[in-house]
Amino acid sequence: MVNLNDLTLEQLQDALVKIGEPKFRAKQIFKWFARGVTRLEEMTDISAKTKEKIKENYNIANVEIWQRFDSKLDETKKYLMELDDGNIIETVAMFYKHGITVCISTQVGCNMGCKFCASTIGGKSRNLTAGEILGQVATVQRNLGTRVSNIVLMGIGEPLDNYDHVVNFLKNVNDENGMCIGYRHISLSTCGLVDKIKKLAEENVPITLSVSLHAPDNETRDKIMPVNKAWKVEQLIDACREYQSVTGRRISFEYILINQLNDTIGHAETLIKITKGMLSHINLIPANFVKESGLVKSTPERVKAFKQYLEKQGINVTVRRELGSDISASCGQLRRKHNTER
């Protein structure tokens, strides 16, 4: 059965007209989804008869808070969200001066196999649907009672490996009848699925593209990211240039610093060379601890030297602040679970 909250407003109108409901009913229901309400019983402006008809013909996917962890180091909150099939995914809320950013998952697990990341251990069990992706943002907003201002698709999963649901989600969360979050306040992070980056450029959803580059040459990238076997660094950079020229948006490159592996001045030099002339920003992330990876974060001295080298060459660079490390909510630390593991 089709999930009503996976549909765009237009598709939802068609679905409701098909069961004999007026078009405006779609907007009513769409607005409930944006408020984090997915139980028909809670939709007070829908009649009992309509609810029955909907139940007979359609599903609605739920995302429920199973547990919330509050960091003691900062205000970060990590949510374990339970899906209807018992899978548990993670969603993180981060508090900044400019507002609340929610980091959402797009898959249950991940197939990309990056050596440093906890989300990919055990592979992918399934894609999240558009409704489950939106459900994370709407549920966090409802739980906090404050408007979410920014979204990052940087939780568990590779968003571009779940292309159609992710694009439907982006359209829905941006919709003026929905959560109405501007595309400029949304960042999608990818390990570099080149064909999908090119497709996204043409989609007319001008979000910020973040690319998990992590190494500027094929030899180094091959060691830590299996995706580099499919698309080489040069192809990835070309796709980024294309995204940039079509959307006019600055590309953000994420670069984890792993001790002695990708953090030499030679790496910094190559990084400058390959991104030359591109409107971009480099976000350095000292690698976070993942016990299975065996990789060690760069020392503060090496991070500083790497950053200063880039800065001296006029590169736009920042070091990402580590948030929520005491509750394993930092980049690369999120992992999927199942409710049988309770």
Question: Cα–Cα distance between 54 and 310 in angstroms, integer?
Answer: 57
SS3 call for 110: coil
Size of the site for ligand SAH (CB under 6 A): 18
Q: Restricting to residues 152-211, which ones interact with ligand SAH according to CB under 6 A? A: 154, 158, 189-191
- Binds ligand SAH by CB under 6 A, chosen from 212, 228, 247, 298: 212
Q: Does 254 bind ligand SAH (CB under 6 A)?
A: yes
Choose among 223, 222, 221: nearest CA to 253.
Answer: 221
Question: Cα–Cα distance between 243 and 237 in angstroms, integer?
Answer: 10
Q: Pick the catalytic residue: 21, 82, 90, 158?
A: 90
Catalytic annotation present for 114: no
Q: Does 331 bind ligand SAH (CB under 6 A)?
A: yes
- Binds ligand SAH by CB under 6 A, chosen from 4, 290, 303, 327: 290
Question: Cα–Cα distance between 272 and 315 in angstroms, integer?
Answer: 8
188 and 210 Cβ atoms separated by less than 8 Å: yes
Question: Cα–Cα distance between 93 and 72 in angstroms, integer?
Answer: 14
3-state SS of 45-107 is CCCHHHHHHHHHHCECCCEEEEEEEECCCCCCEEEEEEECCCEEEEEEEEEECCEEEEECCCE
Q: Does 329 bind ligand SAH (CB under 6 A)?
A: no
Report which residue's Cβ sits closest to ligand SAH.
332
Q: Which residue has the tokens 């002339």?
A: 277
Q: Restricting to residues 94-153, which ones interact with ligand SAH according to CB under 6 A? A: 112, 114, 116-117
Q: Does 287 bind ligand SAH (CB under 6 A)?
A: yes
Question: Cα–Cα distance between 303 and 211 in angstroms, integer?
Answer: 19
Is the CB of 25 or the CB of 214 nearer to ligand SAH?
214
Residue range at the interface with ligand SAH (CB under 6 A); choices 81-89, 167-175, 264-272, 282-290: 282-290
Least CB distance to ligand SAH at residue 157 (A): 6
The residues that are catalytic are 90, 331
List residues near ligand SAH by CB under 6 A.
Answer: 112, 114, 116-117, 154, 158, 189-191, 212, 254, 256, 285, 287-288, 290, 331-332
